[in-house]
Amino acid sequence: MTDSKAPTIICVASFFKGNDFIRECKRLGAAVVLLTREKLLDAGWARESLDDLIAIPGKTSVQSYLAAATYIAQQRRVLRVVALEEYDIVTAAHIREHLGVSGMGTTIARCFQDKLAMRRKANEVGIAQPNFVSLVNYEVLDEFMKRTSPPWMLKPRIGASSMGIKKLHGPETVWRAIADLDARESFHERSAFHLLEQFLPGDVYHVDSLVAGGRVLFASVERYGIPPFDVSHSGGVPISYLVKHGSQEQRALLRMNKKLLNGFGFEHGVTHAEFIRRADSEHESDRYVFLEVAARVGGAYTADTIAAATGINLWCEWAKIELATPERPYILPPVSKEYGGIALSLARQENPCTASYDDPEIVYRVRKPWHVGLIVRSPDHGRVVNLLTEYARRFSEDFTAVAPPEETAEQHL
């Protein structure tokens, strides 16, 4: 029988992820209800920690999630609504507003999902970023291209990773790309749902944070070995690793990340932000620029890598933040100061064997069909970087497969 007085967390997930969050919420005494797509009904969800699982048939929409959440709220006392995946950030905000549940509303949520909204907000709060323009008005676009030198990045306003992004080298290619977009059948795939921004060469970093009461309590700074766009369009084995503690790059990015989250009005939860260290800047003061941010745990085993180096499981700590109360406030556990990193790639083999990779620093082996990955940990930053660089070389020879970059996540929804 349903305990109608138990505090309930509704989790929204259009993709399979977040089991650690679900389990921790249950361990802390909350009832957990998962809303997902019917296509994911048989995925390996932490069912032992779920009080209910509602699979929405067909193509999901904000309205279908609202209807399901309303049904839940009629039977349970909903305390929190959480999006476990980037595509659901605004949907979860709509549910909060509809049910009158506290948390991030749609205006702020859009700044953590819609790249145009986050660009405009970053301008408003004085965060350095690439020059950009909406594709809604073609006259404004033409003026932008006349005053801004190429290449430019054409980006979907909503989407994760490098999906759907194109590097364009002149106005004619931009107009041709727009014509192709406007010929698409789905309205939300057309040019008005994209933006154009100036390409800035440089190293790409990500900062993953835990925030409570509007304060950044934990943040991990990592650098990608190769920018994600270059990997998805030119190949290579992606690696990512924590930067040196106390380094100039760590200090600069922690300051910028704090300014970003405070300026965006983010109050509690987890964030994944990306920044560029410009290769064409002569001055350290303007070298770092904002790329994008989402209110979610980073993908590609980011949480596992951070946990290996710091002892902080972002999913579990996020659950504690959501369920904190004035009587039981959130307290960050001790943080280890080691280094960690990951090498991860698509594989030619369905179940690649990494037995020949036997370094003692290996703490986790990715076991996912058609993927190969190793997470390493060491108190020596140089050792981590050297190992991952070597693994990237060996992966290319032993395992790596290349797939064409995906245009949109629609095929998975």
Q: According to the model, what pLDDT value does residue 58 have?
A: 86
Domain count, the chain: 3
Question: Is the domain of 291 the same as that of 373?
Answer: yes
In a domain, 369, yes or no: yes
Q: Which residue has the tokens 């709509």?
A: 94
Question: Is the domain of 274 the same as that of 302?
Answer: yes
Q: According to the model, what pLDDT value does residue 411 have?
A: 47
Cα(56)–Cα(158) distance, integer angstroms = 22
Question: Which of 152, 177, 198 is the last residue in one of the domains?
Answer: 198
116 closest CA partner among 299, 292, 297: 292
Cα(89)–Cα(151) distance, integer angstroms = 31
Radius of gyration of the chain (CA): 21
Cα(303)–Cα(19) distance, integer angstroms = 12
In a domain, 2, yes or no: no
Question: Is the domain of 144 the same as that of 98?
Answer: no
Question: Which of 183, 198, 213 is the last residue in one of the domains?
Answer: 198
In a domain, 351, yes or no: yes
Q: Supply the CATH number for residue 167's domain.
A: 3.30.1490
In a domain, 247, yes or no: yes
Cα(107)–Cα(264) distance, integer angstroms = 10
List all residues 6 or more positions away from 154 whose beta carbon is below 8 Å from its beta carbon: 165, 166, 167, 168, 174, 177, 194, 195, 196
Question: End-to-end CA distance of the chain, in Å?
Answer: 33
Question: Is the domain of 274 the same as that of 215?
Answer: yes
- State phi, psi for 60 to the nearest 5 degrees: -75, 160
Question: Is the domain of 170 the same as that of 277?
Answer: no
In a domain, 151, yes or no: yes
Q: According to the model, what pLDDT value does residue 284 have?
A: 66
Question: Is the domain of 232 the same as that of 372?
Answer: yes
> Where in the sequence is the domain holding 224, given as residue range(s)?
202-398
- State phi, psi for 180 to the nearest 5 degrees: -65, -40
List all residues 6 or more positions away from 380 whose beta carbon is below 8 Å from its beta carbon: 339
Q: According to the model, what pLDDT value does residue 1 have?
A: 41
Q: Which residue has the tokens 């406030």?
A: 329
Q: According to the model, what pLDDT value does residue 407 have?
A: 57
In a domain, 263, yes or no: yes
Question: Is the domain of 187 the same as that of 47?
Answer: no
Q: CA angle 157-158-164, nearest 5°?
A: 80
Per-residue pLDDT of the chain (413 residues; tens, 9 = 90+): 455 577 999 999 999 999 999 999 999 999 999 999 999 999 999 999 999 999 999 888 999 999 999 999 999 999 999 999 999 999 999 999 999 999 999 999 999 999 999 999 999 999 999 999 999 999 999 999 999 999 999 999 997 666 789 999 999 999 999 999 999 998 989 999 999 999 999 999 999 999 999 999 999 999 999 888 888 766 779 999 999 999 999 999 999 999 999 999 999 999 999 999 998 876 666 799 999 999 999 999 999 999 999 999 999 999 999 999 989 999 999 999 999 999 999 999 999 999 999 999 999 999 999 999 999 999 999 999 999 999 999 999 999 877 655 555 554 44
3-state DSSP of the chain:
CCCCCCEEEEEEECCCCCHHHHHHHHHCCCEEEEEEEHHHCCCCCCHHHCCEEEEECCCCCHHHHHHHHHHHHCCCEEEEEEECCHHHHHHHHHHHHHHCCCCCCHHHHHCCCCHHHHHHHHHHCCCCCCCEEECCCHHHHHHHHHHCCCCEEEEECCCCCCCCCEEECCHHHHHHHHHHHHCCCCHHHCHHHEEEEECCCEEEEEEEEEEECCEEEEEEEEEECCCHHHHHHHCCCCEEEECCCCCHHHHHHHHHHHHHHHHHCCCCEEEEEEEEEECCCCCHHHCEEEEEEECCCCCCCHHHHHHHHHCCCHHHHHHHHHCCCCCCCCCCCCCCCCEEEEEEEEECCCCCCCCCCCCCCEEEECCCCCEEEEEEEECCHHHHHHHHHHHHHHHHHHCECCCCCCCCHHHHC
Query: Is residue 53 within 8 Å of residue 44, measured between CB atoms?
Result: no
Q: Supply the CATH number for residue 264's domain.
A: 3.30.470.20
Question: Is the domain of 210 the same as that of 286?
Answer: yes
Question: Is the domain of 77 the same as that of 157?
Answer: no
In a domain, 1, yes or no: no
Question: Is the domain of 346 the same as that of 384?
Answer: yes
Cα(91)–Cα(341) distance, integer angstroms = 32
Question: Is the domain of 183 the same as that of 85?
Answer: no
Tokens matching residue 163 = 């999906």
In a domain, 119, yes or no: no
Q: According to the model, what pLDDT value does residue 248 have?
A: 94
Question: Is the domain of 329 the same as that of 228?
Answer: yes
Question: Which of 198, 219, 252 is the last residue in one of the domains?
Answer: 198
161 backbone φψ class: left, alpha, beta (φ>0; ψ -120 to 50) = left
